[in-house]
Amino acid sequence: MIIARTRYALKRASDVFRKEGIIPSVKLLAQDTFRFLGHYVFRSSHFYLYEYTMKKRDEADFLPKIDNFTVHRVSSNHQADMLAARGVDFRECFFNSREALDKGAIAFCILVGGEFAHIGWVALTEEAKNTFDAIPYPVDFRNNEACTGGTLTLPKFRGKGLMKYGYFLRFQFLREKGVRVSRNAVNADNRISQRVHAKFNPRVCGELRYLRVLKWKFRKRICLFK
């Protein structure tokens, strides 16, 4: 797993170097290194737990500030292979994508000018959730609840509203599936993400603080609000 993760990080940095130059590639490699350390070695985090009702929303309020984009909902590696045959394989940009798709997670991808720009995930089961979001907050999947997470926008496409539109698409999908409530966890220090989520008027239903030292040592404290 560690070797595969290292190869993935180096390939991502190499792709960015060819397209955007050395500074963006170095930044991306540094981000991947910190994510690796956070995932496998040490993590101390503070999250807000958000709850969303699946009400009907007007798409015009969430459209991105960019032209020539397409949306692809991918629920299997076969569908991802078909997209890859057209020159776009998001699995190279989001680690663990193959396992996530095999275990039922659903990817919402946005391409701009045929180029991969944004991804976000949906889970309808606990097994699917754990492939892209191992943060331990409760989701009652048996009672028509779901969760979202695993959101990534490539650096060159940030600031265009893709994250906001991606969440609109995921919530619309869940609403059509009959999901009653969607949940996710947002890092308390991630102001940009919090601003995006605020546009969907979530209820802050709790806070989570946890400390993990190595993958098998784990301690958590969760406070749920009524």
* Tally of domains within the chain: 2
* Distance in angstroms (rounded) separating the CA atoms of residues 56 and 210: 34
- Which of 66, 31, 21 has the alpha carbon at shortest distance from 166? 66
* 7: containing domain: 1-40
Q: Render pLDDT for 3-32 as a digit per residue (tens, 0 to 9).
A: 444 555 566 656 666 677 777 766 766 666
Task: Identify the three-state secondary structure at position 103.
Answer: coil
Q: Which one has a higher pLDDT value, 11 or 47?
A: 47
pLDDT reported for residue 216: 46
- Report the mean per-residue pLDDT for the chain: 85
Could you tell me the two tokens for 86?
Answer: 């057209």
Residue 31 shares a structural domain with residue 121: no
Residue 187 shares a structural domain with residue 213: yes
Task: Express as a percent the part of the chain with pLDDT over 90.
Answer: 59
Residue 77 shares a structural domain with residue 174: yes
* Distance in angstroms (rounded) separating the CA atoms of residues 71 and 209: 35
* Distance in angstroms (rounded) separating the CA atoms of residues 212 and 42: 6
**142 near 51, Cβ under 8 Å?**
no
Residue 18 shares a structural domain with residue 99: no
- Which of 162, 163, 128 has the alpha carbon at shortest distance from 145? 128
Least confident of 35-44, 52-61, 130-139: 35-44
Q: Is the dihedral of CA 183, 185, 188, 194 positive or negative?
A: negative
Side-chain-side CA neighbours of residue 92 (13 Å): 16
Task: Identify the three-state secondary structure at position 166.
Answer: helix
Q: Render pLDDT for 145-200 as a digit per residue (tens, 0 to 9).
A: 999 999 999 988 999 999 999 999 999 999 999 999 999 999 988 899 999 999 99
Residue 3 shares a structural domain with residue 98: no
Residue 28 shares a structural domain with residue 116: no
Q: Where are the alpha helices (DSSP H) in 110-190?
A: 126-132, 162-176
* Distance in angstroms (rounded) separating the CA atoms of residues 111 and 114: 5
Residue 86 shares a structural domain with residue 35: no
Residue 19 shares a structural domain with residue 62: no
Q: Render pLDDT for 128-145 as a digit per residue (tens, 0 to 9).
A: 999 999 888 899 999 999
pLDDT reported for residue 220: 60
Amino acid at site 216: W
Amino acid at site 160: K
Q: Could you tell me the CATH number of the domain that includes residue 203?
A: 3.40.630.30
Task: Express as a percent the part of the chain with pLDDT over 70.
Answer: 76
Could you tell me the two tokens for 136?
Answer: 């331990």
